[in-house]
Structures are given as structure tokens and as C-alpha cells.
Amino acid sequence: MARAPWGCCPWLVLLCACAWGRPKSLDLREDVRNCSISPPYLPVTVVNTTAQLTALRQQMHTQNVAAYIVPDTDAHMSEYIGDYDKRRAWITGFTGSAGIAVVTMGKAALWTDSRYWTQAERQMDCNWELHKEVGTTPVVTWLLTEIPVGGRVGFDPFLFSINSWESYNVALRDSDRELVSITVNLVDLLWGSERPPVPSEPIYALQEAFTGSSWQEKVSGIRSQMKKHREAPTAVLLSALDETAWLFNLRSSDIPYNPFFYSYTLLTDSSIRLFANKSRFSSKTLQYLNSSCTDSMCVQLEDYGQVRDSVQAYTSGAVKIWIGTSYTSYGLYEVIPKEKLIADTYSPVMVTKAVKNSKEQTLLRASHVRDAVAVIRYLVWLEENVPKGTVDEFSGAELLEKFRGEEEFFSGSSFETISASGLNAALAHYSPTKELHRKLSSDEMYLLDSGGQYWDGTTDITRTVHWGTPSAFQKEAYTRVLIGNIDLSRLVFPAATSGRMVEAFARRALWDVGLNYGHGTGHGIGNFLCVHEWPVGFQSGNIAMAKGMFTSIEPGYYQDGEFGIRLEDVALVVEAKTKYPGTYLTFEVVSLVPYDRNLIDVSLLSPEQLQYLNRYYQTIREKVGPELQRRQLLKEFSWLQRHTEPLASRAAPTASLAPLMTVSALTILSWSV
């Protein structure tokens, strides 16, 4: 089927240009649907939801609720959700990853952010109102106008975090409406045979070579923390999928991009209960878990669906359950008596796995060497083929995954690749599809944000390149982003400093000239776990930095409608060597792909920044060069040598690049990302 030189994503048409030029000014308040005429005008991509809504309202009548809330998550508050849990998509027709739906007896409405407005209009029929705002407040405001005083609002407690429940409950209660927990999901009752099947792939144990500690050592460590806790918990309840996967060194494939399986764990001082589908465990894995015995170091398997009843039964005794509120659903929280609850933001498992031991650090470093080989192979290939006009964003992303797939221990991508050319790169989370993509050109910047899952580690790296002649502004913006990356990476700061307190170092070179970026500066990363691993990072909700943590460092700049820049590396928090005694930390970058020399304005770099960059390039040569030679990738080795040649200063730094602010000065900042 013929199409324009690049496919313009229909739900991004307001933000991207079509092949024949920039779009005309469009009013974001106007809906592409016209539901006021008969018959209504609807895009061909719309999904008819009349039958679903009729059936749902019948269930609502049976439950005596005036409204029903359908969120976009699963029972574990996962970042990515499996097809089995995409209830909101099924009931609305809207497949975007963010949005909350509410159905009353007379209306249906969806709330989502600006990334998805046009997509929602093109997928939802006239049964649905689109609200172009997000958060609890606008949803509650709408509910108060649509349901009478005394009305009941139903929800599935397993799909609400504790904080979400509190927000809705307080707002509705104060307005004389009632939030009602319904443990049987009403959408599930209707979905029937159309619903994707429950995942059934095997749940397997990682080989010992790819684990930092045995599961027995991890269990003993958490129990030790329980004994030392001032409130003396008798159990820890784990709800996040990566918690159970980490604790037992188990993996599977229930969730896109994450090697997890649906599960909960109730770890007590005398027993271990793992809630999952027992049929998915081989006899070898059952033996690995000591599942045939019942003492304190034997894992008792129970049915996944029994977790609520089992937790409730456990609370009948003289017990105290320790939870992390960030990932525990209200469905479990509501059955634990508050006098038997110990609630922290993050569970002890979430905090413990954030700090990698020496073996885990070695494993993650090794995965980044192999990942660098794949990315370098791709960049070399692009350099040869983009000028031919035969490469597009989607085919490029597919080839990169092929290169990664040829690396040892590869187990899939760690997230959907962001392969964005020209103005598409100005959309921070744009991803191409087979049908909708743009061709790569030597006249445009190209942003590549991608990562891999390997048995020994998870990777995430972003590079921005230009094969032609970039503008002076593009070079300045790129270099200032690079300076931000360098300044944060080389920073020395006191131990136990919050990432939020040093985050501004990544922005300062941009701030100096009135530029900025609108996303976070970094996130934690796991060992064959989450690519976005909480609670590490530079946001207000993250825990303090500690030796052994891995985080991304990823400043950027986005010129709306023209180009985007992001430079992302993964770095290990290590002890800093200082002139005087003290406990200070810094970062060791483990991503090993050179930046684009074509975009670096060396005159903007200070001598210290230039020295750091050349030292980093020498590290890349030492770690990746031998691997390229060993595998006879001589063309790639030659490319690497050229792109890591030491850079020489061409002029003094600009006056705007004053000495860096001290960490103590940053403590007065209130920047929040």
C-alpha cells in the first residue's frame, strides 16, 4: 500500500507534521468526532462499545451502584500491564497506556493526558465523553455532578492503590457519596471469551551464575530486618511483581518487557507462602523451592486467587504485617486490621534489592558491554544506510532488536524502543509502528532510546545523532544536554543525599540559557528485572542514594515540532575518593557507547568536563574494543576507535558556565519532576 514518505501517526497529528509540511493550527478543544449529527461522524478506527456498556450497567444495577470506575492498572500497580488486565481498553475502545474510565447509568467518560487526546477521539465512539485532564480531582468533580447525594460509586479494590482509594474516598465521603469496594470485577464478568487467556508460560529459576544471592539468603536477610524493626512485624506482604521475582530468583513472561509472573508472597517469621499458579512450576523448580516440606525455609505454594482470604485468615492471630503502600492494593489493605499493620512507602524487599551486591554489579556491568556491541553495530549500519534513504524508524528499531538478539543471554527488549527522527523526537515518549513511522534522513537528528533484558542485567541507553550538518542551535542544545549528563555523572556528594537534591546539576547548563526539559532525570534499573526500578532516582518520592545503587542519568531538550535530544546512561553509585576523610559518593557510568562528535561544540566544555569525556572514551575503548575484536567485528572496531578519539579544547568555556553550585546550596531548591 503506497503512503507518504513517512507515516504520520493519526493520534499524534496535532503534534507532528505530515509529509507535505507543518500542520495548520488546530484547536485542541475540538473533538474529531461529531456526535451532534445523525448519523454521527466517526473515524473508521472507532470501536462500538454499546453492548459492553449496556451489559456493564446491568451489573451496576445488580450491585446498586450509580457509577463504576475502571482504571488502567493491574492488581500489582505494574508499570506495564498484560493483555489479560487491559479492562479499560476493552470497555472504552481506547488502547492508550494512560487513562481512567467512569461509567454511570446515563454517561461514560474517559480522562487522559495530552499524549492521547487524538488517539482517544479516533478510537472511542459517541457513548464516551473525553476529558482532557488527569488526576483524582477532575474525576470526582464530574462524579459529583452526575450522581445524586447518597449515590454509591463502585470500584475493584485490587485495581486501586491505597493512596488512590484514600483520595477518592475522602472526596466522595465529604460530599455524601459512598465509595463501594466490589471484589468481583464487573468488567471481567462481561469480557467472557473475548478476554485474553491467563498467562501459562513456565515459571523458572535463574541459574546461580546470574543471581547475586540464593533465595534462602535473601529470605534470611529480610527476616533479620523484621527482627530488628522497632514494631516487631511477624510478616512481610509482597505485592509488586518484581519483589517476588527478586526474592526467589524466579522469572517468567506475564508482563510485556518485564520477566515477571502474577504472584504475591507472605513471608512470615516461620513460613513462606508464595501465591501463584502452581501448574506453571516444573518439578525441578518445585524442588528448588523446597516446596514439599513445611518448615521455615520451605516455600508453600498457594493459589494466586486465595491471597486475600489467606492474608485475612493470618490476621486472626497475634501478628503484625509489614507492607509497602506504593504497591499494595486496597483489596489487601482493607482486610488487614489497622492495629496489625506496619505501613512504609516501600517494603523492605523493594529497598533491599535497590542496592546491588558486588556480584550483581559485575553482572550488570557485563550486560552493558554486550549491549554496547549491539548498539554500536546499529549505529555503524545507520551511518552506512541512512544516506541511501532506505531506513525508517520502525525498521531501524527492528534491526536493533535483531542485533541485541544475537548477544549472549538476551531475553527481549526492556521497553518499547523509542526510535524517533526529526520532529517525532520532540515527543519524549514517541514510538513508531509498522504502519506509522517516519524515514530517517541525513538532514535530521535521530533519537534512539532503547534497552535489553539479559539474564545478567537490564539495560537502557539513549543516544541522539545527526549524520549531516546540524544547526548551531542544535549543537549548542546537544552540548548543553551533554554537559548536564557529565556534571551529574562526575558529581561528588555526601552519602545518603537524596537524588532530588542533586538533580539540578543535570539541568544547569540548559537553565543558563533559558532551556529545560519536562521529564525526570533518572530512574533505578534492575538485574533482569524492571527497567524503571523504584525507589531509586532523582524524583521527590525516591530514597536517598547509597553505594551499590544503579540509576539512569538522562537529561534532554525538546524543540517542539523540530527535534529532540536525550543522552541517557546507566550509572552505578560508588564511593568517591576525596582529599579529606568523609563518606562521599559519586557515579560510575556503565553504559559504553560514545556520543555523537558531530553534535558536540567543544568550545562550551570546561577543561574538567573535557577531561571527564576523554577519560570516559578511554574506558569505552578498554571495555568494548576487545569484545569487538574478539568477535571479528573489525568495521565496528574501526568506528569505535574514530568516535572515541580524544577531543581537544578549541576555546575557553563561555562565561555562562560558572563553577558548579554546591550541594548544600541545592537543598533550598524546590524543583520537582
Confidence of residue 37 (pLDDT cuts 50, 70, 90): confident
Under 8 Å between Cβ of 252 and 261:
yes
Nearest to 151 by CA among 65, 59, 68: 65
Reported confidence tier of residue 666, pLDDT bands at 50, 70, 90: very low
Beta bridge partners of 644: none
Give the CA dihedral 16, 397, 441, 435, nearest 10 degrees. -50
Quick one: cell of 179?
Answer: 465509595
**pLDDT score of 431:** 87
Residues 151 and 63: beta-carbon distance below 8 Å? no
| Structure confidence by residue, pLDDT tens digits, 235-258 | 999 999 999 999 999 999 999 999
Position 39 scores a pLDDT of: 77
What does the block give as the cell for 354?
535497590
CB 42 within 8 A of CB 124: no
Local structure of 47: helix, strand or coil: strand
**CB-CB neighbours of 195 under 10 Å:** 16
Condensed to tens digits (0 to 9), the pLDDT of residues 328-347 reads 999 999 999 999 999 999 99
Q: What is the mean pLDDT of residues 371-376?
A: 98
Provide the β-strand partners of residue 344.
324
pLDDT band at 38 (very low <50, low <70, confident <90, very high): confident
What is the DSSP pairing of strand 272-275 with strand 264-268? antiparallel
Question: What's the pTM value of the predicted model, to 2 decimals?
Answer: 0.90
pLDDT digits (tens, 9 = 90+) for 390-423: 999 999 999 999 999 999 999 999 999 999 999 9
Instruction: Determine the pLDDT at residue 483.
Output: 98
- pLDDT score for 663: 41
Q: Give bridge partners of residue 446 from the DSSP assignment.
A: 421, 465
> Percentage of residues in the chain with pLDDT exceeding 70?
92
Angstrom distance (rounded) from CA 265 to CA 400: 37
Report pLDDT for 114: 83
Rounded Cα–Cα distance for residues 408 and 402 (Å):
12
Residue 157: cis peptide before it, omega within 30 degrees of 0? no
Which comes out higher in pLDDT, residue 392 or 672? 392
